[in-house]
Structure 1
Amino acid sequence: MKAKWPLLLLTATLAACGNNIAEKDDFYPKSGNNINAEEQTDIYNEEASDEQFGFVRQVKSPTPANPNDAKTIQWMDREKAALHISELLVVLPHVSDASVVVTDQEVLVAYTTDTEDEKGRFETADQVKKSVLNYVPRWYHVYVTDDPALRQDVENIGSMTTQSPTKDRSVKLVVESMLERSPQGRAMGEGENANGEKSGETNNHLEKTKYNQQSNDHK
């Protein structure tokens, strides 16, 4: 009879632990399409989002990562978004280095490519831009550049926040330079340009650049 008491005590202890884990289940991340309560706050409560922009620079590894390992961003943690995007971009065949800045409404990408001819640059820009648009909420606009002289300008945006007084002007000036100096790829669809801007939106800068005709020629 004495030998049964430790076994009974162990069983009771395990049952109590199981109940505690079940009660705290909402605090553990779920797999698949499920999200926990904290993630729901990130998605649906704008006040809960961080004001800091996300910035990551990623250099291609000698052992390429599997692009299937990159998970779709299910909430806009801007730093994690920048990390996932940069990891995905350096897997692309002609991209060896990518600096990614995620603001509250734009993604700016400065990347290094081994393609030098205009056709190759255009195709690489199209791949980079589409890879980003596949991972961010659809209201985001994406701007890319392969001009090394603009990398520092893009990275400087990463030190700003949504409350920075010069944020809007700084982003606008950098975006205008990116559009002037670098191809942006194909238009995304009818009434939507290469950067994901719909006709009539205030960010619609593409018509003003030398790459507008190039975008139209490759539709």
Structure 2
Amino acid sequence: MKKTFIPAILLSGMVLGACAANEDHELAERNDGVYQESGNTLNRDDRNDLYNPSNNDTNYGFVREVKSPVPGDTAEIGKEDGINREKTAGMISKMVVALPNVHETSVVVTDAEVLISYKIDQADNKSRFETADQVKKTAMSVVPRWYHVYVSDDPALRQYVENIGSMDPYSADKNTAVQDTVRMMKESSPQGRPMSDLENENGETKEDRIKQSR
């Protein structure tokens, strides 16, 4: 009896151990996709899609977004499975248009800047400043930290932003178009608060501004 009883116990322990290992493996697989089901946080797969260096961009990313009267229902313009810059522009536009005072937005992501034109519901000075700060910080939370973000609620500049969206990094006049549009955006619209003691409202350092002036 003892010779048959001891192997039975060992066999039972082996089965239980295998089940526990299988459960641990399944738990690890579920945890590998942290934030996978979150609707408010960029999950790991999203960031891989946005910043995977193997996906070489050939165009700037441009998306225009209009606030939908139905919560959660957004109108996306652009390729669903577009290049990295376009996916980034799409994510920023969805987050920006969800802000309380923003009705519509156009977002361009270049290789170093994010340009955001948006339409607001309230246009007093305080609302304009606070909305600019929210829009700018929303974009900053998505792009790599070395990007600079420029925003504008001036409707006259929307077409400039959209024109840049039709360019690609190899357009002959793209640098001039971006620089001119950035200058007009900063002149006509608030940019919010400085990002840090060493960075201005657009995330530019002193060294960045020196390079831009050359």
Greater C-alpha Rg: 2
- What is the CA–CA distance in structure 2 between the aligned matches of 1:85 and 1:52, rounded to whole Å? 17
Residue from 193, 196, 210 that aligns with 1:189: 196
Q: 1:197 to 1:41 in 2, by over 3 A?
A: closer
Structure-1 residue corresponding to 2:123: 116
- What is the CA–CA distance in structure 1 between the aligned matches of 2:190 and 2:125, rounded to whole Å? 8
Q: 1:159 to 1:203 in 2, by over 3 A?
A: farther
Q: What do residues 81-121 of structure 1 show as CA deviations (whole Å, max 9, x unaligned)?
A: 11111111111000010000000000000000012111110
State the Cα RMSD in Å: 2.4
Residue from 153, 162, 175 that aligns with 1:168: 175
Structure-2 residue corresponding to 1:97: 104
Which stretches of structure 1, 4 residues or longer, exceed 4 Å deviation after superposition?
33-36, 39-42
Q: 1:204 to 1:99 in 2, by over 3 A?
A: farther
TM-score for both structures, normalised by structure 2: 0.70
Structure-2 residue corresponding to 1:53: 60
Residue from 133, 136, 156 that aligns with 2:163: 156
Structure 1 stretch displaced more, 76-85 or 51-60: 76-85
Secondary structure class of the residue paired with 1:201: helix
Residue from 139, 142, 147 that aligns with 1:140: 147
What's the offset of the Cα at 1:192? 0.3
User: May I ask how many residue pairs the two structures share in their alignment?
Assistant: 163
Residue from 78, 87, 92 that aligns with 1:85: 92
- What is the CA–CA distance in structure 1 between the aligned matches of 2:90 and 2:50, rounded to whole Å? 21
Q: What do residues 60-98 of structure 1 show as CA deviations (whole Å, max 9, x unaligned)?
A: 0112339xxxxxxxxx80111111111111110000100
**Percent of aligned pairs with the same amino acid:** 52
Verify the 8 A CA contact 1:42 1:49 in the aligned structure 2.
no
TM-score for both structures, normalised by structure 1: 0.68
User: Residues 56-67 of structure 1: matches in 2 within 5 Å?
Assistant: 56-65=63-72
Structure-2 residue corresponding to 1:73: none
What's the offset of the Cα at 1:44? 3.7
Q: What do residues 111-150 of structure 1 show as CA deviations (whole Å, max 9, x unaligned)?
A: 0001211111000000000000001100110000000000
- What is the CA–CA distance in structure 2 between the aligned matches of 1:41 and 1:143, rounded to whole Å? 20
Unaligned runs of 5+ in 1: 1-29, 67-75, 206-219
Residue from 124, 136, 143 that aligns with 1:129: 136
Verify the 8 A CA contact 2:49 2:84 in the aligned structure 1.
no
